[in-house]
Amino acid sequence: MELRDLRAFVTLADLLHFTEAAERLHVTQSALSKQIRRLEDNLGGALFSRSNAGTRLTPLGRDLQADARKLVNAADALGHKARASLNGSAGTLRIGFGVGTKLFVPAAISRFRLERPGVEITLNDLSSHHQVQALIEGRLDLAFCRLPAPEGWPHLPVVAARFMAVIPASWSPALSLPELASQPVSIIEHHRAPAFHTHLMNYLAGKGLRIAHIQPVQDFVSVVALAAAGVAWGVVPSSTSIDDPGVRVIPLQDEAASWLIGLMRPPGESSALVEAFWGLVAGMLEDGGLPAA
């Protein structure tokens, strides 16, 4: 059973006039008659009766008219959806992000939705490590995560970030890192933010610091809370929101304490939707430069 035959049936059932139906379908009356006969042969019975009084639906035709219309409408809707997906005006875009792009990502999505309101966007708040894994497994289309990207992956630097030491407000801001190292320090657990944890531990080791005591935490909010309580100092990314008067924030300025966060995707052909979002982000960066987290 062919879709064009069902479309011919539905059109003729609406008009009950072979000439008008053929004109609407842009076929000859002979071609229309062949389509109807072919469909009738497939279904095992006549769909129309023709007499001097005109063309009429048979009982079988009346029984099948509504279902045939649903099939034709569904096929039309599928075609519209496919075209919209291919030109990037509809579909679903799955985006990963982390704390480092919590300001940039909403701004980009807001602008993208204005341009393409038919696109559904799902956001996934994940560490860089878990974002890359989700991209590899096909669970994300794009991700904003720590650079460098895996070899061969398209990427676009988006945000500059760095370590921020968070110490109790009662402590002197003049304390050096070696002096801080003699105090308990809270550090997010490796499985929660693998890339951040590894970078931080390598950074501290590169400074030749021997940490007196490490207090593992589950998130950066806990780092700030422990510092406010005077229990331990800690290190968080520069994108962390800190408005607690009980702490003092000290940016770690050397190059080893900084990194870039970028938009990335796996290599290979990408969809029109991915390319459209990529282009929008590139345009935002050209307009405003690389923001700091």
81 pLDDT higher than 80? no
Measured in Å, how far apart are the chain's first and last C-alpha atoms?
59
Q: Phi and psi at residue 65, in whole multiples of 5°? A: -60, -50
Identify the structural domains of the chain with CATH numbers, from first to last. 3-86 (1.10.10.10), 91-158+261-288 (3.40.190.10), 160-259 (3.40.190.10)
289 pLDDT higher than 80? no
Percent of the chain with pLDDT over 70: 97
Residue type, 115: E
- CA 208 to CA 205: how far, in whole Å? 5
For the stretch 141-195, pLDDT in tens is 999 999 999 999 999 999 999 999 999 999 998 889 999 999 999 999 999 999 9
**Can you give the pLDDT at residue 64?**
93
Smallest Cα–Cα separation from 14: which of 62, 53, 59, 46? 62
Smallest Cα–Cα separation from 54: which of 9, 15, 10, 8? 15
Smallest Cα–Cα separation from 173: which of 233, 236, 240, 238? 233
For the stretch 64-73, pLDDT in tens is 999 999 999 9
Smallest Cα–Cα separation from 97: which of 47, 144, 54? 144
- CA 13 to CA 86: how far, in whole Å? 33
47 pLDDT higher than 80? yes
Distance of CA 164 to the CA centre of its chain: 29
The radius of gyration of the chain's CA atoms, rounded to the nearest angstrom, is: 31
Residues facing residue 18 across a β-bridge: none
Q: What is the mean pLDDT of residues 76-98?
A: 81
Q: What is the mean pLDDT of residues 22-26?
A: 93
Smallest Cα–Cα separation from 12: which of 63, 75, 65? 65
Smallest Cα–Cα separation from 240: which of 114, 98, 105? 98
